[in-house]
Amino acid sequence: MTRRRNESGRLMNDIVTAKSGAKPRLDPQIAPIVAARHGDPFAFLGMHVEGDGLVVRAMLPGAASVAIVDTAAGEVVVTAEPVHPDGFFVARIAGRSQPFRYRLRVEWGGETREFDDAYRFPPVLGDLDVHLLAEGTHLDSYQKLGAHVTTLDGVAGVAFAVWVPNARRVSVVGGFDSWDGRRLPMRSRHAGGIWEIFVPGIGAGEAYKYEIVGPDDVVLPLKADPYASRTECPPRTASVVADPHPYPWQDGEWLAARGRANDRTSPISIYEVHLGSWRRDLGDDGRYLTYRELAEQLVPYVADLGFTHIEIMPVTEYPFDGSWGYQPVSLFAPTARYGTPDDFRFFVERCHRAGIGVWLDWVPGHFPSDSHGLARFDGTALYEHDDPRQGLHRDWNTLIYNYGRREVANFLLSSALYWVHEFHIDGLRVDAVASMLYLDYSREPGDWIPNMYGGRENLEAIAFLRRMNEVVFGEGTGATTAAEESTAWPMVSRPVYVGGLGFGFKWNMGWMHDTLGYMSRDPIHRKYHHNDLTFGLLYAFHENFVLPLSHDEIVYGKRSLIGKMPGDQWQRFANLRAYFAFMWTHPGKKLLFMGGEFAQEREWNHDIGLDWQLLGQPPHAGVHQLVRDLNRLYRATPALYQRDGEGDGFAWIDANNGAESVISYLRRGAGDPAAIAVIVANFTPVPRHGYRIGVPYPGRYRERINTDATDYGGSGIGNLGATEADAEPMHGHPYSLRLDLPPLAALIFTREA
């Protein structure tokens, strides 16, 4: 018997010839290769030194013949011998002991193809990358994992790498290998659980997935790439190799100043958008607008209305339209529903060039259980907890990330930075933070596991959120973060170093619930619920708040904003206009979901566009004009935004007139203390003539906004554009204004020096 060993000393005997005339016996390693169960294919496939020659092995199902071509010479060196009917070929090259560059010339179905052998290339990842990935400290992991067009050893191709620590075998599959997992099993980097391969001769646009054999030797459903930066358009589910060419950004001026645009002392007025239902192309069967079409239509619309920011509901790829993007399967790929990643970059750039910041809803709280996604990715609970008391979100039937696993936390941190760096996103609004913070969130007793101290706080999620905020702000790009957090968790928007969670802003869900509850009541009953209007000022300065009138409030039978308002048509529109003025002058940044700006009557439906025809009706056009005027006044009046998070920036004039449902207050900026804004709101349909409120300074007070103006659809009761302060003390102030208060209306004055 002839026995040969390769350079590593491993026994290799593909075809072991016994005594003359004996039947050849296959090397025992061939069977696992053919069955796609070999744990270390690079140790066996490709070219290896054996004795005084070389051997090349290739698994090419369906091939009729295989020849080894010397790349430099362009000549066939040897023809490979088929040694297994499923397509395993072996070629022996005598007299050459130094490996050389070679190609495979293969005949398939009467057609000959020539290509580089994937198994002749060295590892893709360096040892340091593998170490950092295993350590969970590779914040640029998206640059290493996933699929990347590259050139290796002078050959163009795509490098694939994926974290699958418990797999017995991983193959990349696609049209380039007939979706056959036997063709391209990957190299295992055991130290970090990473599997990798360089596939020569393919490039951008290739669809692919991973075929994984789990630890129980079961082939899993094909998996999309967790780090894919591009995907097929749903309902198709494959990942796609992205174009490697850098995008020619032209928003440098914006980036240099965006820290100021996101600052808590700056005006921030956010238009929340679901890109798929803002507007549809009615001339083309109601199809989605593309990212580029949205850049041409949505951006100038938002700029004209005076909003400072757009907040986009999640565009991280998601399988089910009805999730609105909040159940993503790919945290590194903008949804293909509206175009390519570069198309999305074009949209962001257009926003920036129009002076509009872009915040993105980002979902690190949970992920769907779709078979092609992260769920039991390697046959085990890899990204999620195994115990459903920790790993299953009862409300949404989704899976919860295992934040305590360093590779999972690194995956999420890398995603956050990816959107900031690669797409110039200005802010990440983190969805459903409360569900991350509490182990017993939406769970019955006995259906959750306490933390190590016996408490309900998710210590691992808390540590992750703090680290995420440290990382985002530590980059120094000017990007910010915001939390949708619906409980009284303390210091959500306070720095980590003082014990906070580190977010830039927090949604003020309490303000939203209280004030919408107040506004939905018939005015005759409002005097009994006056505290719903004023209570928010007791905690308004504990956080850097955003006041959200979001998509969540106008679906599932909750009615639209205008639908919540009581009374006849005139009263409903008057109520909404007064409420908007109250919101725009209340401490806190502003967020309004699309359609609210023109008082859309029906609830939001993600399957169709907004009812744009309503803008042709005067009441709706009046609300639209008011929102535009409120934004412009807000941005031009530092008293309305500079000290949102400071108690000294707000003072009640009269918070106690519940009997008449009238409130009055003033706002101060950081400069001249006399440069104040004065707001008076009458939440009953009764005009009040000669109504007096106290003010701290003499002079002329200009009526900047009157929500009862005829231009907005109101009755026109007002104060002729301005009023003078009288030296008559009132409400603890030495001066007062005598005003005519319109019904169901708010007045905004600024003092003129």
Cα dihedral sign, 341-347-349-351: negative
426 and 358 in contact (C-beta within 8 Å)?
yes
Amino acid of residue 562? I
Would you call 647 helix, strand, or coil by DSSP? Answer: helix
Give the residue-averaged pLDDT of 687-713.
97
Label residue 283 by pLDDT band (50, 70, 90): confident
For the residues 110-133, what does the mean pLDDT come to?
Answer: 95
| pLDDT tens digit sequence for 19-45 | 334 445 678 899 999 999 998 999 999
| pLDDT (0 to 100) of residue 609 | 97
Task: Give percent of the chain with pLDDT exceeding 70.
Answer: 97
Q: Is 297 strand, coil or helix?
A: helix
pLDDT value at 459 more than 80: yes
**401: phi then psi, degrees, rounded to nearest 5:** -60, 145
Angle between helical axes of 618-636 and 291-305 (0-180°, round to 10): 70
Cβ–Cβ < 8 Å for 351, 310:
yes
The pLDDT value given to residue 24:
56
- Report domain extents, the chain: 4-120, 127-240, 248-371+416-486, 646-752
Residue 538 is classified by DSSP as: G
Check: CB of residue 312 under 8 Å from CB of residue 277: no
Count of C-beta atoms within a 10 Å radius of residue 257: 13
Backbone CA torsion sign across 623, 628, 633, 634:
positive
**Phi then psi for 623, rounded to 5 degrees?**
-65, -45
Nearest alpha-carbon partner for 567 in 419, 651, 685, 454: 685
User: In the chain, what percentage of residues exceed pLDDT 90?
Assistant: 93
The alpha-helical segments, DSSP class H, found in 428-568 are 433-437, 459-474, 509-519, 523-526, 530-534, 561-564
| Over residues 216-245, mean pLDDT | 97
The predicted model gives 675-700 an average pLDDT of: 97
CATH 2.60.40.10 fits 4-120, yes or no: yes
In this structure, which amino acid lies at residue 691? Y
pLDDT, residue 25, reads: 67
pLDDT above 80: residue 88: yes
Quote the DSSP letter at residue 324.
T
Classify domain 248-371+416-486 by CATH number.
Answer: 3.20.20.80
| pLDDT confidence of residue 527 | 97
Q: State how far the Cα of 395 lies from the Cα of 392, in Å rounded to an integer.
A: 9
27, 317, 349, 484: the catalytic one is 484
Bridge partners of 546, per DSSP, are 507, 589
**107, 67 contact by CB (below 8 A):** no
- Residue 51 tokens, joined: 């004795």
CATH number of 646-752: 2.60.40.1180
Output the pLDDT for position 15.
41
- Cα distances from 616 to residues 25, 271, 739, in angstroms, run 84, 21, 33
Q: Which two tokens stand for residue 135?
A: 């350590």
pLDDT tens column, 654-663: 999 999 999 9
- The pLDDT assigned to 10 comes to 36
Q: How many residues does the chain have?
A: 753
pLDDT in tens, 368-391: 999 999 999 999 999 999 999 999
Confirm whether 129 is a catalytic residue: no
* pLDDT tens per residue, range 410-451: 999 999 999 999 999 999 999 999 999 999 999 999 999 999
The pLDDT score that the predictor gives to residue 478 is 97
Mean pLDDT for 514-526 is: 97
Residue 18 has pLDDT above 50, yes or no: no
Backbone angles phi, psi at 752, to 5 degrees: -100, 130
Catalytic residue among 116, 272, 342, 431: 431
Do the Cβ atoms of 462 and 241 come closer than 8 Å? no
- 547 is written with which tokens? 């006041």
**16 has a pLDDT exceeding 80:** no
Single-letter residue type at 132: L
Q: Do domains 4-120 and 646-752 have the same CATH topology?
A: yes
Q: What is the C-alpha separation between 185 and 38, in angstroms, rounded?
A: 8
Model pTM score: 0.94
Is residue 264 within 8 A of residue 504, CB to CB? The reply is: yes
What is the rounded CA–CA span in Å between residue 150 and residue 498? Answer: 45
pLDDT digits (tens, 9 = 90+) for 542-588: 999 999 999 999 999 999 999 999 999 999 999 999 999 999 999 99
What is the pLDDT, as a whole number, of residue 285?
A: 87
Bridge partners of 728, per DSSP, are none
Q: What is the pLDDT of residue 14?
A: 44
CB 501 within 8 A of CB 491: yes
The Cα 738–Cα 97 span in angstroms is: 101
Task: Report the first-to-last Cα separation within the chain, whole angstroms.
Answer: 105
Q: What is the mean pLDDT of residues 622-636?
A: 98
Q: What SS3 class is residue 734?
A: coil
Arithmetic mean of pLDDT, 260-287: 95
**Residues in Cβ contact with 461 at an 8 Å cutoff, skipping those fewer than 6 apart:** 403, 436, 437
The tokens of 422 are what?
Answer: 């690669």
Max distance between CA atoms of the chain, in angstroms, equals 122
**Contact 409/470 with Cβ under 8 angstroms?**
no
The verdict on whether 253 is a catalytic residue reads: no
User: For residue 45, how far is the Cα from the chain centroid?
Assistant: 41
Query: What does each C-alpha distance from 198 to 66, 100, 157, 282 come to in angstroms?
Result: 21, 17, 7, 45
- pLDDT range class, residue 5, cuts 50, 70, 90: very low
- Predicted pLDDT of residue 11: 33
Residue 627 and residue 705 in contact, taking contact as beta carbons nearer than 8 Å: no
> 6 pLDDT exceeds 80?
no
| Structure token pair of residue 324 | 């609105």
Q: What is the CATH number of domain 127-240?
A: 2.60.40.10
Beta bridge partners of 507: 546
Instruction: Give the 3-state secondary structure percentages of the chain, helix then strand then coil, rounded to 5.
Output: 30, 30, 45
**DSSP secondary structure letter of residue 266:** S
